[in-house]
Amino acid sequence: MAARTFFVGGNWKMNGDKKSLGDLITTLNTAALHDGTEVVCGAPTIYLDFARSNLDPRIGVAAQNCYKVAKGAFTGEISPAMIKDCGIDWVILGHSERRHVFGESDELIGQKVAHALENDLGVIACIGEKLEEREAGTTEEVVYAQTQVIADNVKDWSKVVLAYEPVWAIGTGKTATPEQAQEVHEKLRAWIRANISDDVADSVRILYGGSVTGANCKELAGQPDVDGFLVGGASLKPEFVDIINARA
């Protein structure tokens, strides 16, 4: 079975300024980060260039969104080509805030995934059920359907990382238990095995996201199908270093 490199993404969302992000960048640049972990920070669009110019090259940078075409009359949007032009290699797509605050559909997310990959960006593709869906027992159905739309738009899985982020756990302080996370990750990997291929099931990183902290990361990281994290709130704090080093 392919060894999966542990992957920790920070999602700064719409937070920070040059002063506070500069301080965070200094903390990350000077910290002892576990060599075996791939680290990527998702910066607000206007600070992408700032983040890329100031972060140590061993730390990747991600845009938090992008549009589905290369250029044109799309006020306020940015394209994968522009992201690449700024030296940035990743984009987060399908985040629950894009889905549920900004109303992005599965179809649009799929089109964005396809276009980002065509432009050689790595994609952190997010999926996850809402509380009412979990309570109705439809977690798997929701997560498989979201993954299917992503899969329909992926040719090369080596550039894709999946992030399972239960919506009820995002920004709520209500982390999924290690058992809850492992259960969904394991089922998702089995779904990938059945519907995509053994190779992709063995190699694709499945991150957990939702109220990950320095205090809970080690136990989550100990689960066999948890291959890393996508971290919101705690990625803005020095404890992000502890999360990066969760498997160290």
Residue 52 DSSP SS3: helix
Q: Is 185 a catalytic residue?
A: no
Cβ-contact 164, 208 below 8 angstroms: yes
Residue 24 near ligand PGA by CB under 6 A:
no
Choosing from 36, 87, 171, 222, the residue that interacts with ligand PGA (CB under 6 A) is 171
For ligand PGA, the closer of residues 64 and 182 by Cβ is 64
Residue 165 near ligand PGA by CB under 6 A:
yes
Choosing from 80, 110, 228, 232, the residue that interacts with ligand PGA (CB under 6 A) is 232
Residue 211 near ligand PGA by CB under 6 A:
yes
Cβ-contact 44, 20 below 8 angstroms: no
Angle at 231 between CA 48 and CA 142, to 5 degrees: 110
Choosing from 170, 220, 241, 243, the residue that interacts with ligand PGA (CB under 6 A) is 170
H/E stretch holding 228 reads: strand 228-231
Catalytic residue among 104, 129, 133, 165: 165
Catalytic residue among 38, 95, 115, 129: 95
Please state the closest distance from residue 89 (CB atom) to ligand PGA, in A: 19
The DSSP annotation for 74-124 comes to -TT---HHHHHHTT--EEEES-HHHHHTS---HHHHHHHHHHHHHTT-EEE
The whole-angstrom separation of Cα 141 and Cα 29 is 41
Choosing from 154, 231, 243, 244, the residue that interacts with ligand PGA (CB under 6 A) is 231
Q: Which residues bind ligand PGA (CB under 6 A)?
A: 11, 165, 170-171, 209-212, 230-234
Give the active site residues.
95, 165
